[in-house]
Structure 1
Amino acid sequence: MTTIRPEIDPELRPLLDLLPAAALSSATLPQVRDLAVPTAESVDSLLTAGRAVDRRDVGVTAPDGAPVPLTVLSPPGLDRSTPVPCVYWVHGGGMVMGDRFSNIDIPLEWLDQLGVVVVTVDYRLAPEATGTTLVEDCFRGLTWVAEHAADLGVDPARLVVAGTSAGGGLAAGVTLLARDRGAPAVAAQVLVCPMLDHRNDTGSSHQFAEGPATWSRAMNAFGWRSVLGDGPATEVSPYVSPARADDLSGLPPTYVDVGSAEVFRDEDVSYANGIWAAGGQAELHVWAGGFHGFDALVPEARVSTAARRTRTDWLGRVLGTRSAS
């Protein structure tokens, strides 16, 4: 029986039609990882394309002694006597691939338009790292940023945690950790098509059980299995799978956006609803016809332009920073 799905936006459809029907597995992961990591040349080109950016690479150490690399990207000539907001960026990749420069074009727009400092983190990946290791790596990097705010020229009262896909889920987990541990203070969180629920059993996950899709239910199952193994689902930490959190109160203003035609749609809507139910502030956008990662993969499409502009406008309002565009 054919699965009924929301239609893909006509401007996005051509890319989806070109996608191979390849499965994500332990056997294919090394090759997929190679494709998912930007080359040094492409990163340099992106950082210098029509902009000036000061770059600083930092080595932070996790509690278990493992390195957690960070890169700090700042507007040139930043006056540290006048601190600016900071976006702490967590990359996507299903928790199994990517690096701190994956999806970096998204926060670079905020550097350009809002004048923020961007700090991006290289957390360890599954299946080599499992359980809470990934989210704890991200939290360690955020703690370092807060501790070095003055040196970075960052306003510690305007520290934003943001991420896309798996990075969006980890950003949500980091924000929950910061709330429960009492620090660092997080001013806002931006969750772009976040990967929030290891149960992988919503209506939208079944609609997109297999391809053609940039991220299917089957791929999602591999990502979660890589992080969690085959242990009891009841033992999964809400910091790893934020949809399990019983209490969503006390969270900072939250932005959630997602496409209507993707696996994470229903869990993302549910998360925003949970924040509202707890008395919190959340802004939710479900972009009609958008597949997973549409705004990054087809940025010139009108729906992508609208999604990115709306996200930036919200962030500017929350931070009290006017967009330069």
Structure 2
Amino acid sequence: MSSAHLLDPQLKDFFESMPPLTLSRETIVQVRAQREAMALAQMPPLPPEVSIVQEYAPGRNGAPNVRMKIYRTPSDRKDRPAILHLHGGGYVLGSPESMAPQCCAWAKGMDAVVVAPAYRLGPETSYPGNVEDAYAALAWIYKHAVQLGIDTTRIAVAGESAGGGLAAALALLVRDRKEYAFCHQQLIFPMLDDRTAVRTDLSPMFGEFVWTNEKNHYGWASLLGHPPGSDSVSPYAAAARAEDLSGLPPAFISTGAMDLFTEENLDYAKRLMAAGVPVELHVYPGAPHGFMWVENARVTKQYARDAWDALSRGLGAA
């Protein structure tokens, strides 16, 4: 049974004409290169007033240094907010460069310092490489906070898809290590639960477009280094595995009603609320995974307003 009849009319042509994507260990390097080239070719001009520099955070426990892109505007302020942004890509694709327009918009519009690390991807690197790289980037922000004019009480973590799942996992790790803190977590259709990849009862109304459960299984297996769904998966790999969600920063969670991750996102939001964490939750009708690629669609514009408002309030930049 197809879910195509549920697509928002303004999204329908784009998603029904999208070419298929096959992920495998044999093709992953080529697919990455093709997607990066396409993203860069389609990227609009970036605002000249935003400085973009590359830095490296020391890797943890002997791991390689973590390459990062730093976005900021010239300012003498000493109380700027910061955003640690983690890109999406199913834990196997993506780069900070592909999200430059969004990072520039935050830096310009919120006067924020945006740090976007190129965390290690699967299948070449399995958990905990990705979350330790993200943690190293956060440690670098704290170390350079005075130099960058960052108020360390106003640091948010944000991400889309796998980046959203990694942001949620990092928020758990930061809470438990007690070295640093986030004021807000911005989770956009986050990839939270490896058990979704082995479900046999999932409605066909979820995950027909873009990120299917076949791709999901590959992504999780690549991250974990073994098939998903086992009993031994860490919550710092799959945040939905955490038993205790108390003490986490306020969360903005959004997803499309047709996204593969809809059910796990709704469940995570419900559990956060039950643990006493402030949550703002949005589910956009007729929207599959990655729906905001259609920038002129009404649902995309609504999402953009909601997400911007929530992040700016979470940072105290409203």
Shift of 1:284: 0.5
* Aligned equivalent of 2:221: 225
> Counterparts in 2 of 1:195-234, with a 5 A limit?
195-200=191-196, 201=198, 206-207=203-204, 211=208, 213-230=209-226, 233-234=230-231
- Secondary structure (helix, strand or coil) at the match of 1:103 reads helix
Moved more, 164-173 or 15-24: 15-24
- Secondary structure (helix, strand or coil) at the match of 1:70 reads strand
* Aligned equivalent of 2:149: 153
* Aligned equivalent of 1:31: 30
Evaluate the alpha carbon distance shift between residue 91 and residue 209 of structure 1 in structure 2; reply closer, same or farther with a 3 A threshold: same
Evaluate the alpha carbon distance shift between residue 275 and residue 159 of structure 1 in structure 2; reply closer, same or farther with a 3 A threshold: same
Evaluate the alpha carbon distance shift between residue 216 and residue 35 of structure 1 in structure 2; reply closer, same or farther with a 3 A threshold: same
Evaluate the alpha carbon distance shift between residue 210 and residue 259 of structure 1 in structure 2; reply closer, same or farther with a 3 A threshold: closer
Shift of 1:188: 0.3
TM-score using structure 1 length: 0.90
Residue-pair matches, total: 315
Shift of 1:204: 8.9
Shift of 1:146: 1.4
1:135 maps to a residue whose letter is: V
- Secondary structure (helix, strand or coil) at the match of 2:99 reads coil
* Aligned equivalent of 1:275: 272
Evaluate the alpha carbon distance shift between residue 210 and residue 315 of structure 1 in structure 2; reply closer, same or farther with a 3 A threshold: closer
Q: 2:247 aligns with which of 230, 243, 250?
A: 250
Q: CA contact under 8 A between 1:208 and 1:216: conserved in structure 2?
A: no
Q: CA contact under 8 A between 1:171 and 1:189: conserved in structure 2?
A: yes
Q: CA contact under 8 A between 1:203 and 1:266: conserved in structure 2?
A: no
Percentage identity across paired residues of the two chains: 36
Evaluate the alpha carbon distance shift between residue 131 and residue 113 of structure 1 in structure 2; reply closer, same or farther with a 3 A threshold: same
Evaluate the alpha carbon distance shift between residue 50 and residue 108 of structure 1 in structure 2; reply closer, same or farther with a 3 A threshold: closer
* Aligned equivalent of 2:20: 21
Q: CA contact under 8 A between 2:58 and 2:65: conserved in structure 1?
A: yes
Whole-angstrom distance in 2 between the partners of 1:286 and 1:169: 17
Evaluate the alpha carbon distance shift between residue 68 and residue 206 of structure 1 in structure 2; reply closer, same or farther with a 3 A threshold: farther
Whole-angstrom distance in 2 between the partners of 1:190 and 1:227: 22
- Secondary structure (helix, strand or coil) at the match of 2:93 reads coil
- Secondary structure (helix, strand or coil) at the match of 2:115 reads strand
2:68 maps to a residue whose letter is: L
Listed as ranges, the gaps of 5+ residues in structure 1 are none
Q: CA contact under 8 A between 1:172 and 1:242: conserved in structure 2?
A: yes
Alignment of 1:61 with 2:58, yes or no, is: yes
Residues 144-193 of structure 1 deviation map (CA, whole Å, 9 limit, x = unaligned): 11121111111101000001110000011111111001121101010011
Shift of 1:61: 2.1
* Aligned equivalent of 1:7: 6
- Secondary structure (helix, strand or coil) at the match of 1:104 reads helix
Runs of 4+ in structure 1 off by over 6 angstroms are none
Alignment of 1:72 with 2:76, yes or no, is: no
2:69 maps to a residue whose letter is: T
Whole-angstrom distance in 1 between the partners of 2:146 and 2:307: 27
Whole-angstrom distance in 2 between the partners of 1:207 and 1:291: 12
> Counterparts in 2 of 1:82-97, with a 5 A limit?
82-97=78-93
Shift of 1:98: 1.1
Listed as ranges, the gaps of 5+ residues in structure 2 are none
Whole-angstrom distance in 1 between the partners of 2:126 and 2:146: 33
Whole-angstrom distance in 1 between the partners of 2:10 and 2:3: 20
Evaluate the alpha carbon distance shift between residue 163 and residue 175 of structure 1 in structure 2; reply closer, same or farther with a 3 A threshold: same
Whole-angstrom distance in 1 between the partners of 2:3 and 2:287: 16
Evaluate the alpha carbon distance shift between residue 49 and residue 141 of structure 1 in structure 2; reply closer, same or farther with a 3 A threshold: closer
Q: 2:190 aligns with which of 184, 191, 194?
A: 194
* Aligned equivalent of 1:121: 117
Q: CA contact under 8 A between 1:160 and 1:186: conserved in structure 2?
A: yes
TM-score using structure 2 length: 0.92
2:315 maps to a residue whose letter is: L
2:27 maps to a residue whose letter is: T
Q: CA contact under 8 A between 2:46 and 2:104: conserved in structure 1?
A: no
Kindly report the root-mean-square deviation, in angstroms, between the aligned alpha carbons of the 2 structures: 2.2
